[in-house]
Structure formats: C-alpha cells, structure tokens
C-alpha cells in the first residue's frame, strides 16, 4: 500500500510503498477513503505532542473508510461496513489498523470526507461543553479560535445547547464562518480591547479556549463569578499560567480536556457522546464545515494550512 511515513522528526513526511498492515486481536483493518488533519498532527511531527510515537510512523489520527478485515477474536464492525475512527497514527495510508473500540458506524448519508473530520472535532466540543463545563441554556459561551476545526464545532454545539455564543477569530472572513455556524456575536481576535469588549457584553460564563496566550488571560479577566474555563489547545504556542488568586476571588474553575485521554479512561462516555452527535447529524442538526479537500500527495499543503491558520473548519485528505 501507499502511505505517508515520518522517518525522523528532522525530515518531512514522504510517500512510501509498504506491506499492508495486519489486524491484531482487538483491531479492525480499514480501507481508508479519507483522513482528517488535526493541529495535533503538527505537534506530533514536531515532537511536541503528549503522545510520541516510535519512529518511523505513519501520521494521521482520524479516518473514514470501509472495513476490510477483523482481527482474531475481535468483536467489531464486519467487512463492508462504512466506519469512522480515531487511530492516533496510521491514518494517512491506503490501509489502517484501528482499535475496534475506536470505530463508529457511519450514517448512510454521511460522505467519507465529512466522516474523516467528524469524530475528534465534534467529540471534543460536545464532551468538553456538556460533561466538563456543564454549559446551561442562557449562559454566555466564548470560543477562541472559533473558525478552526475544533472551535467551529464548539460554536455550533454551544448554540444548539441554548447558549449565547461569542466567537473570537482573526479577520472578517473567518468571523463570517463563525457567524454562519451560529455565533451571536463575533469579535476580531486582533482587536486590542478584547477584555473590555467582553465585559461590555456582560461577561462570560464559559470559555472554550483553543488558542492560549493573551486571549486566555483576557477571557479569564472577563469571566463572571463561578465561570468555567476549558483549556482545549494552545494554537498560539503559548501555554497560559493561571493566577490562583483570581480563581479564588471569583470562584472560577479551569479545566483541561483531551479527547484522546477520554477514549482511554472513559470509553462509554465517549461512545454515548458520539451516538448523540451522529443522531444530530442524521437529523440535520449539524453542518460540518470543510474548507479544503486535498489529494493524497498534497499533505504538505494541508499541514501548511493548519500551521498558518488559514483553513476554516476541517482540512481533509482524500486517500482513495
């Protein structure tokens, strides 16, 4: 099969021809149709992700495709079944072995390109907002990086949960995408008065932060008493440091959320969440946004779109 492979962290991924993988017990072999790109792929390529795969490795964390075979003694989707899955690595190849527990049967009407970018972004936002932040109808939600792959789903889900959604993103085009996803108010992230603007809007109950850095600090200052801040990612490259005295005085809660960790420790919670999301999708309640679908050999272009933060929503690589 053809696959993208990372030989060393100093070298860019390259296309190689290698034998098809064989599924082990507990795994399912999937013929990959499309693979979604994530900011975590960049971190992994730079050696800065919390999980560091052994070299060489095949990048790609989420896929959509058709089951080819099931590993020995494995109770999983049978050959011919259309599935989406999270695989940590191995997705940017014509075949991928995925833990059976990380596969979900796709709705009949879901295109492969949509499925490839669905699970991580929507799964992260749904569990973070419902389980961790316990967002309530009528509360105000601020989403930073609101036009990105994960941020945009937070806007959409937050609105569906009945919140008033404030979206922060860079530039009018990205703000228009967030507005179309349901944001009630949009704020340019480059504006110098973010804290004052948020306060003039009445403050914030929940912050969904994908950026880190100064945006997090300003959102913290604009939180209402008993506010909740979700640390989702640090696209700015700056990890914020939280002053404990501010948390104490305003009774604030700062919570981290990593979808991959929940798949390991709370698989039933993840499965229930994904079931709800796919039900919403099947009923027309979600509208996934994909800004770029690229051919298999254009991985470098796709990664640059993420690195330069020029994509909106998801970037997907067509494999087959």
Whole-prediction pTM value? 0.95
Structure tokens at 266: 């709370």
The percent of the chain in helix, strand and coil, each rounded to the nearest 5, is 35, 30, 40
- pLDDT at residue 237, as a whole number: 76
- pLDDT at residue 305, as a whole number: 96
Structure tokens at 158: 């937050």
Class of domain 2-118+288-318: alpha beta
| Architecture category of domain 122-258 in CATH | 3-Layer(aba) Sandwich (3.40)
Helix (H) or strand (E) holding 302: helix 299-307
- For the chain, the domains span 2-118+288-318, 122-258
Q: What are the per-10-residue average pLDDT scores of the chain (320 residues)? A: 95 96 97 97 91 94 98 95 96 97 94 98 98 98 96 98 97 96 95 89 96 90 96 85 90 94 92 97 96 98 94 96
b (16+ CB within 10 A) / e for 35-54: bbbbbbbbbbbeeebeeeee
Interacting residues of 261 by C-beta distance below 8 A, sequence separation 6+: none
Can you tell me the distance from the alpha carbon of 189 to that of 174, in angstroms, rounded to the nearest whole number? 10
- pLDDT at residue 99, as a whole number: 94
Query: How many other CB atoms are found less than 10 A from the CB of residue 291?
Result: 16
Phi then psi for residue 175, to 5 deg, are -65, -35
Helix (H) or strand (E) holding 186: strand 185-188
């Amino acid at each position: 099969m053809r696959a993208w492979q990372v030989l060393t962290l100093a070298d860019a991924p390259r296309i190689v021809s290698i034998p098809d993988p064989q599924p082990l017990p507990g795994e399912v072999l999937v013929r990959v149709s499309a693979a979604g790109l994530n900011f975590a792929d960049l971190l992994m390529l730079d050696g800065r992700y919390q999980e560091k795969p052994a070299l060489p490795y095949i990048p790609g964390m989420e896929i959509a495709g058709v089951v080819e075979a099931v590993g020995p003694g494995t109770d999983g989707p049978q050959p011919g079944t259309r599935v989406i899955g999270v695989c940590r690595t191995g997705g940017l190849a014509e075949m991928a072995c995925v833990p059976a527990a990380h596969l979900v049967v796709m709705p009949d009407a879901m295109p492969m390109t949509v499925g490839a970018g669905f699970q991580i972004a929507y799964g992260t936002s749904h569990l973070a907002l419902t389980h961790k932040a316990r967002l309530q109808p009528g509360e105000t939600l601020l989403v930073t990086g609101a036009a990105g792959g994960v941020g945009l789903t937070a806007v959409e889900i937050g609105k569906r949960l009945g919140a008033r959604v404030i979206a922060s993103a860079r530039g009018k085009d990205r703000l228009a995408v967030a507005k179309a996803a349901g944001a009630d108010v949009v704020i340019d992230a480059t504006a110098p008065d973010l804290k004052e603007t948020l306060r003039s809007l009445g403050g914030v109950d929940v912050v969904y932060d994908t950026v880190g850095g100064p945006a997090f600090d300003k959102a913290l200052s604009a939180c209402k008493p008993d506010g909740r801040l979700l640390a989702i990612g640090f696209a700015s490259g700056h990890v914020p440091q939280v002053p404990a005295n501010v948390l104490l005085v305003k009774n604030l809660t700062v919570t981290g959320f990593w979808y991959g960790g929940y798949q390991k420790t709370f698989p039933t919670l993840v499965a229930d969440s994904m079931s709800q999301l796919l039900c919403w999708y099947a009923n027309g309640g979600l509208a996934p946004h994909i800004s770029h679908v690229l051919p298999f050999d254009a991985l470098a272009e796709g990664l640059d779109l993420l690195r330069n933060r020029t994509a909106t929503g998801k970037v997907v690589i067509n494999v087959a």
